[in-house]
Structure 1
Amino acid sequence: MNVVLAADAIGNPIANIAVFAVFAVGTLALVYRVSRGGTSTADYYAADSSFTGAQNGIALSGDFLSAASFLGIAGSIAVHGYDGFVYSVGWVVAWLVGLLLIGELLRNTGRFTMGDVIAYRMRQRPVRAAAAVSTLVISFFYMLAQMAGAGGLVALLLNITDRAGQSLVIAVVGLIMISYVLVGGMKGTTWVQIVKAALLLLCVTTITVFLLGAFGFNFSSILEKAVANNPLGDAILKPGTQYGRNELDFVSLALALVLGICSLPHVLIRFYTVPNAVQARRSVVWAICTMVVFYLCTLVIGYGASALVGSPAILQAPSGENSAAPLLALAIGGPVLLGVVSAVAFATILAVVAGLTLAASASFAHDVYANIIKGGRTDPRVEVRVARITAVVVGALAILGGILANGQNVAFLVALALALAASANLSTILYALFWKRFNTAGALWSLYGGLGSCLLLIAFSPVVSGAPTSIFPMVDFHVFPLNNPGIVSIPLSFICGFVGTMFGRRNERPYAQKEMEVRSLTGIGANLRR
């Protein structure tokens, strides 16, 4: 049966607020307890590399399994069917890039940020500045999705339908997230991500089992009911409902999903929280195993939401597609299960945004302040203070951006951040790790060329204007036809890196290149401070 979206159906708003308050206070207490006494940069940025591969792998999944994964994908499958599952497949396959090409070498070469790796054998100041710009821009775009998801989720739970109320919700979520980063640093944030990942897995597997049980453990019965409750009918069981009219957009999205994950700053920084390359590899393996279970469950949850709630009711909810999972919980377990699911989703958003804020603040404080402004000579306590101030600024910008992006499908917004990451970071990291001739000019061309082209294409795409779902639907200045620019900007970044290297000065620091090659492959000197 369809769910009636009324205040009495959603439950008691006071009880729901109490659930959020208990979780926020409990996790802040956990963050404070595990982070006491840590004032060094190694502790704030990388938790003194004290986590095991299993712990970091679960935290990696907690860092990545965001509002896009839980709310956005379930909603996309519920409304669009088969095409919504593209995100899940792409994101699981993407981790193989991290396992085979990036994780181990990055852990051996860098110390705190992506800038450490890219600038290892380059001129430090321009390359670190470019890496910091890339990190801040990508983190901001990723935060838009999380903050928009937070606003929609809590608005649904509290039955807030006006934009002003949802904006206030986004602001409160942002303030709590900033508190995590200020109090806990990497160690506290990691433990929040571990707790959140465990709760999320428990939540989705429980819903999946109950849902399958309600249909006699017959997934075909769920699909039949989903077809009956979706205006698209049988089309939701086949590809083409969302991307069938533009195959290039589908290919572009797939490239962004597969190549963008392990280029994300908040994912890259997690490889420094383990003591060695072996644990870095184990981290990725644990993360992949966790995510396979999670995404299989979202497939059942998405079609289950279409079957029991119906896509028309989902689209009419305060946060549209992002309401599918909470409304399914309401349909099968009433207000109590809705409160539990929403609290878990709330934890998901807080943990991911805290990780993003930490990555952005670490990049500015370590790459820009410590190594560019201070030339590598700074007091660690002052550097950590700068990182905390940066976290406040980044958090404030994320709140403003989340208010603007409120109502967009969060999985779709994350795909744009992934396109930016793959365009700017992936080519630069791979060239730096594997191409001996790669130089400063090549690094700057690939970073700025990929990032700039991607931003330009997004600005003139239907994402921003010219469509009912655009951020500014009342105007139309789009000239680029695709929603995701990855098919153009990702290859362009590799071309820019190659051309820049060919025209730049060769072997600026040849001794550093040889040292980086040995260190990346063997791990010798990986734990020494440079």
Structure 2
Amino acid sequence: MNASKMKAALTLAAMSASNVALAAGGDLGQVDKQPTNWVAISMFAVFVLATLWITKWAAARTRSASDFYTAGGGITGFQNGLAIAGDYMSAASFLGISAMVMSSGFDGIIYSVGFLVGWPIITFLMAERLRNLGKFTFADVAGYRFQQTPIRAFAASGTLVVVAFYLIAQMVGAGALIKLLFGLEYWIAVVIVGGLMMVYVLFGGMTATTWVQIIKACLLLAGVTFMAFMVLANYGFSPEALFAKGVEVKTQLAAAAAATPEEAAGAAGKGLSIMGPGGFIKDPISAISFGMALMFGTAGLPHILMRFFTVPNAKEARKSVFWATTWIGYFYILIFIIGFGAITMVLTNPEMADAGTIKGGAGAANMAAVLVAKMVGGNVFFGFISAVAFATILAVVAGLTLSGASAVSHDLYATVLKKGQADSASELKVSRITTVALGVIAVLLGIAFEKQNVAFMVSLAFAIAASANFPVLILSLLWKDCTTRGAVIGGFLGLVSSVALTVVSPSVWEATLGNPAGSAWFPYTSPALFSMAIAFAGIWFFSITDRSAQAAKERGAFKAQQVRAETGLGASKSSGH
């Protein structure tokens, strides 16, 4: 694949929000199958056996719905912080952001900054209130003083749409990664991920999912620390020397690819451009909209919000956000170093790259970080990082599935259908049936979308979370005049508009559906700026025009909600209700 095509694929991947690289392009599923890597497979087998043992241990402790959804509220702030970081440090962040730094230099860190900026919002506005008001899902919080049936229906819809798009992208990413690294067929890899994920969630619930995330986060942090240390060691531990070498390599590649004397003369400028912004998103509206999706989407992701119900009290919730922010920030700094390591070590290695393009077929650019691991640690460390990257997907998929299952069993079945009268055993049964259904659907869609571009699915997941879940959650917590009618209508307006605008944006209308360039109805890469505005305006308008007796009752209940949210009075230690 020539340099221009690689750049186009990576730019399209940039529209993805969290799972940037594993969604990088329609031909990601077509990466070349490599010889079977037995070191990677054996290490992966050790990890799987260890996590299955954890699941067996967790299954013995999972007796109630509270145990299944929230680990009985028995996870400490430090443990939960590591687990949240594990959710966030997906294989896509590891592979994707490093690939983008390799491609575009400094600008690749826009994702790291965007994701991190979302955490202060959660820390100061939401974490404590979530823990004090919630039980199992974010709908418990959003609907604390509202009519349960409509608000739960909306919350479950938003959750399931976000989870579905995330799951498909994870499955396609897992299949492509294993096809590239382990030599297995694509569909076999997808079935393995789906099967293991169902085992984790069905038997271990949140306890197993949390401990798998913690172990994976520790392994990944150890791996990237070693990689960054070895990369910097080559340059006397001087980041300045590393960056200077990166500029030199990019300048040489630009000169080698030049077709005219004018292009050759501009090669130095192209090399130096990797140290400046503007490579991904060039117009201000797209930049603001994309930034809003990254920032506020974090505060609306159901599988992240669900983690605040696993700690015993609000103090531990705050502590978990502090530790999560610490580990995620540390991880992203190292990823930046590894990305420049890919420029200076991988792109200059004729066995791994040809004319600035990583060998191995379409989508191989996403393997930049793994190839850095091979150069600094040999085949054994290469196998270790490969196994950790794959195990990362397993853990993230398990967390997503658990949040989807809880939306169906707790929000729809127990609260809407059974009017809060469902017993714990029947709720748990519905949750496990939903887990199997979600697992089967994820496997089938993962196989069906093998050759499809899934970048828009992940960006859509963040845009939906920012446009539907976040406005409803934040206004129900902080605005006394918010009513059921406003929250449900405004929330659905945000949900529908974010999906619709993404479908008619260039990333889907042109790149995925194959329509001619310039024909997209919506010109920007992310809909968040517009769909969030629609959601907030809808919630405000339909709330202030609601003069019903029910609305008056909901406004009157705000003071009691505020006391509970701020003090925790009435929140039980283990479940929040």
Corresponding position: 1:75 with 2:99: yes
Corresponding residue for 2:8? none
Corresponding position: 1:178 with 2:178: no
Q: TM-score, normalised by structure 1?
A: 0.92
Larger CA deviation: 49-58 vs 503-512: 503-512
Corresponding residue for 1:348? 392
Q: Which amino acid aligns with 2:196?
A: I
Q: Which amino acid aligns with 1:130?
A: F
The structural deviation recorded for 1:124 is 0.6
Q: Which amino acid aligns with 2:568?
A: G
1:77-98: per-residue Cα shift (whole Å, max 9, x none)? Answer: 1112222110001111211010
The structural deviation recorded for 1:370 is 0.4
The structural deviation recorded for 1:11 is 6.4
Give the 3 Å change call, closer, same or farther, for CA 352–89 of structure 1 in structure 2. same
Corresponding residue for 2:559? 514
Conserved? CA contact 1:154–1:169, under 8 Å: yes
Give the 3 Å change call, closer, same or farther, for CA 520–139 of structure 1 in structure 2. same
Conserved? CA contact 1:361–1:391, under 8 Å: yes
Question: Could you tell me which of 209, 215, 227 is aligned with 1:195?
Answer: 215
The structural deviation recorded for 1:448 is 0.5
1:336-359: per-residue Cα shift (whole Å, max 9, x none)? Answer: 221111111112111111111101
Distance 2:402 2:149 in 1: 21
**SS at structure 1 position matched to 2:508:** coil
The structural deviation recorded for 1:9 is 12
Corresponding position: 1:441 with 2:485: yes
Corresponding position: 1:166 with 2:186: yes
1:392-426: per-residue Cα shift (whole Å, max 9, x none)? Answer: 22222323443455578988754432111010011
Corresponding residue for 1:236? 274
Distance 1:235 1:309 in 2: 19
Distance 1:198 1:407 in 2: 33
Conserved? CA contact 1:423–1:454, under 8 Å: yes
Corresponding residue for 1:207? 227
Corresponding residue for 1:4? none
Corresponding position: 1:32 with 2:77: no
Give the 3 Å change call, closer, same or farther, for CA 78–315 of structure 1 in structure 2. farther
**SS at structure 1 position matched to 2:494:** helix
Conserved? CA contact 1:263–1:422, under 8 Å: yes
Question: Could you tell me which of 279, 288, 291 is aligned with 1:254?
Answer: 291
Identity %: 41
Distance 1:392 1:281 in 2: 33
Distance 2:503 2:32 in 1: 41
Corresponding residue for 1:328? 372
Structure (1 or 2) with the larger CA radius of gyration: 2
Q: Which amino acid aligns with 2:567?
A: T
The structural deviation recorded for 1:318 is 4.8
Distance 2:369 2:535 in 1: 37
Corresponding residue for 1:525? 570
Question: Could you tell me which of 303, 308, 315 is aligned with 1:278?
Answer: 315
Larger CA deviation: 402-411 vs 277-286: 402-411
Conserved? CA contact 1:10–1:330, under 8 Å: no
Corresponding position: 1:288 with 2:325: yes
The structural deviation recorded for 1:529 is 6.6
Q: TM-score, normalised by structure 2?
A: 0.85
Distance 2:523 2:360 in 1: 28
1:432-472: per-residue Cα shift (whole Å, max 9, x none)? Answer: 111111101111122211111000011112222313xx3x4
Corresponding residue for 1:42? 66
Q: Which amino acid aligns with 1:249?
A: S
Corresponding residue for 1:152? 176
Corresponding residue for 1:217? 237
Distance 1:112 1:497 in 2: 24
Distance 2:281 2:330 in 1: 26
Conserved? CA contact 1:118–1:432, under 8 Å: yes
1:244-273: per-residue Cα shift (whole Å, max 9, x none)? Answer: 2x3322221111111111210001100000
Give the 3 Å change call, closer, same or farther, for CA 498–450 of structure 1 in structure 2. same
Q: Which amino acid aligns with 1:433?
A: L
Corresponding position: 1:301 with 2:338: yes
Larger CA deviation: 121-130 vs 319-328: 319-328
Corresponding residue for 2:520? 478
Conserved? CA contact 1:445–1:500, under 8 Å: yes
Larger CA deviation: 355-364 vs 211-220: 211-220
Larger CA deviation: 302-311 vs 101-110: 302-311
Q: Which amino acid aligns with 2:290?
A: L
1:39-79: per-residue Cα shift (whole Å, max 9, x none)? Answer: 21110011110011111111111122112311111111111
Give the 3 Å change call, closer, same or farther, for CA 400–74 of structure 1 in structure 2. farther
Q: Which amino acid aligns with 1:391?
A: T
1:134-156: per-residue Cα shift (whole Å, max 9, x none)? Answer: 01111122223322322222122
Conserved? CA contact 1:223–1:303, under 8 Å: yes
Q: Which amino acid aligns with 2:569?
A: I
The structural deviation recorded for 1:177 is 1.3
Question: Could you tell me which of 427, 430, 438 is aligned with 1:386?
Answer: 430
Larger CA deviation: 454-463 vs 10-19: 10-19
Give the 3 Å change call, closer, same or farther, for CA 132–30 of structure 1 in structure 2. same
Conserved? CA contact 2:198–2:439, under 8 Å: yes
Give the 3 Å change call, closer, same or farther, for CA 499–167 of structure 1 in structure 2. farther
Query: Which runs of no fewer than 5 residues in structure 2 stay unpaired?
Result: 1-30, 255-269, 348-352
Task: Please show how residues 26-175 of structure 1 align to structure 2 within 5 Å.
Answer: 26-159=50-183, 165-175=185-195
1:210-246: per-residue Cα shift (whole Å, max 9, x none)? Answer: 11112221223332333314545222211122222x3
Distance 1:114 1:425 in 2: 9
Conserved? CA contact 2:341–2:372, under 8 Å: yes
Give the 3 Å change call, closer, same or farther, for CA 9–265 of structure 1 in structure 2. closer
Distance 1:351 1:73 in 2: 19
Corresponding residue for 2:473? 429
Distance 1:405 1:234 in 2: 38
